[in-house]
Amino acid sequence: MTNSIASVIIAGGYSSRMLAFKPLLDLGGVSVIEKVIETHRAAGVKKIIVVVGYNGEAIKEHLKGRDDVQCVENPDYARGMYTSIQTGIATLDETTEAFFMHPADIPLVRSETIKALVRAYSERRRGIVYPTFDGKRGHPPLIDFTYRSEILCDSGEGGLKRVLEQFEKEAHDIICLDEGIALDMDTPEDYERLKLYALSDAPGEHACQVIAAHYAVPEKVIGHCEAVSDIAISIGLHVNAVFTDAPLNLGLLYAAGRLHDVARVHKAHAHVGASWMRDIGYGRLGDVIEHHMDMDCLEKEPLTESEVLYLADKLVQESDYCGIEMRFEPMRERYANEPEILEQIKRRYDTAKCIQNKVESIIGREACYGQNGLFNPTR
């Protein structure tokens, strides 16, 4: 299917509000324009067109040697984005069934979202497919080739949105649990926000709420997850205050705490939840969640986000903070006559104690807990 899909990436604007040239800004070690290209390439799209205008030579030089990308120059870029849209789709021929229209300043869409849009289109082979997050449409839409002539012939007054509104009856919205579809970078403040999001590689507070609601996580479980997230972040902050060479990813810890039990009603919920997170594009988050029930503690290795989540989960009983002993003692009593289960409980207890010892070794003192349960090594 992706052989007949094209991606048109618009990078022809002035970046006037940003006060810097957006396509070449750094975003997690790669440029903005490369980030968008790699998203579509990772989704299997083979025909990628980058439309340049203002400062176009800089983009072409930046992408020099990439035979997998076609740079097309829009001589009329000063007249606005719509002319770049027309320039891009003018290069498409009838071997294209549908095309993405992706502004370069919305760079953190996940490749899994692109794949989901392609799958949705392949079921219909017509119309326009829009990604939605929290009930709102975002970018990039996937547009059937039959609308190409309409877009090319239109004056563009009101932009592409106004043109596509004519075909609303043929539009199809799909839910994508990807807040990146709505995160643009028009201002320096936007850019700083996107850099933090790219660094954490995990959903933020609002996105965690949306994801939990999508999977119908019970309120009782949400309360537990909030408590685990709080204590994981508290541990992370204290560790990072000392261990600055390889700091823990606090954004990842926050999301892992909030979503580690997203699939609690399912058997093997840690693996199910991890799979769900990977499916929506959060692979690192899935890896952390997968081990929150059972893992090995490697005493000599650096402390990891997975270990912090594991420990935080073992310090919380439902939504109440407690110590490791209080968490495990009821289980020991309940399964006192079942040696195989007791052995599993012992292994998990030993792992929790090992991780707590690693934390205390890093901060140089015993970990204590205040009345509110938050990690407080200064007491």
* Domains recognised in the chain with CATH numbers: 2-196 (3.90.550.10), 201-363 (1.10.3210)
Q: Single out the residue of 268, 256, 266 nearest to residue 216, CA to CA.
A: 266
Q: Is 270 exposed, middle or buried (0-12, 13-18, 19+ CB in 10 A)?
A: buried
**pTM summary value:** 0.92
With tokens 């609690």, the residue in question is: 264
pLDDT band at 320 (very low <50, low <70, confident <90, very high): confident
Range of lowest pLDDT (94-108, 273-287, 353-367): 353-367
Taken in order 302, 305, 308, 309, is the CA torsion positive or negative? negative
pLDDT for 203 equals 97
What angle do the packed helices 283-290 and 269-279 form, to 10 degrees?
180
Q: What is the mean pLDDT of residues 220-241?
A: 94
User: CA dist 70 to 14, 108, 260, Å?
Assistant: 21, 21, 42
Residue 12's CB: how many other CB atoms inside 10 A?
Answer: 30
Closest CA relative to residue 262, chosen from 184, 203, 187: 203
313-326 as b/e: b if 16+ CB within 10 A: bbbbeebebbbbee
Q: Residue 82: helix, strand or coil by DSSP? A: helix
Residue 348: both structure tokens together: 């998990």
Phi-psi region of 246 (alpha: psi -120 to 50; beta: other; left: phi over 0): beta
Q: What is the pLDDT of residue 19?
A: 86
pLDDT tens sequence across 30-83: 999 999 999 999 999 999 999 999 999 999 999 999 989 999 999 999 999 999
Give the pair of three-digit tokens for residue 172: 């199809």
For residues 76 and 54, is the Cβ–Cβ distance under 8 A? no
- The confidence band for 321, taking pLDDT boundaries of 50, 70 and 90, is confident
Helix (H) or strand (E) holding 314: helix 305-314
Share above pLDDT 90 across residues of the chain, in percent, rounded to a whole number: 80
pLDDT in tens, 175-208: 999 999 999 999 999 999 999 999 999 999 999 9
pLDDT, tens digit (0-9, with 9 covering 90-100), for 342-370: 999 999 999 999 999 999 998 887 776 55
Backbone angles phi, psi at 317, to 5 degrees: -105, 110
Mean confidence (pLDDT) of the chain: 93
HSE (side-chain half, CA atoms, 13 Å) at 142 = 29
Place of tokens 């209080």: 326
Band the pLDDT of 371: cuts 50, 70, 90: very low
318 falls in which pLDDT band (50, 70, 90)? confident
Decide if pLDDT at 112 tops 60.
Answer: yes
322-327: average pLDDT? 86
CA distance 368 to 320: 16
160 in Cβ contact with 143 (< 8 Å)? no
Say how far apart CA 319 and CA 225 lie, in whole Å: 8
pLDDT digits (tens, 9 = 90+) for 4-37: 999 999 999 998 889 899 999 999 899 999 999 9
Neighbouring C-beta atoms of residue 246, cutoff 10 Å: 9
- pLDDT (mean) for 143-170: 95
pLDDT at position 378 is 42
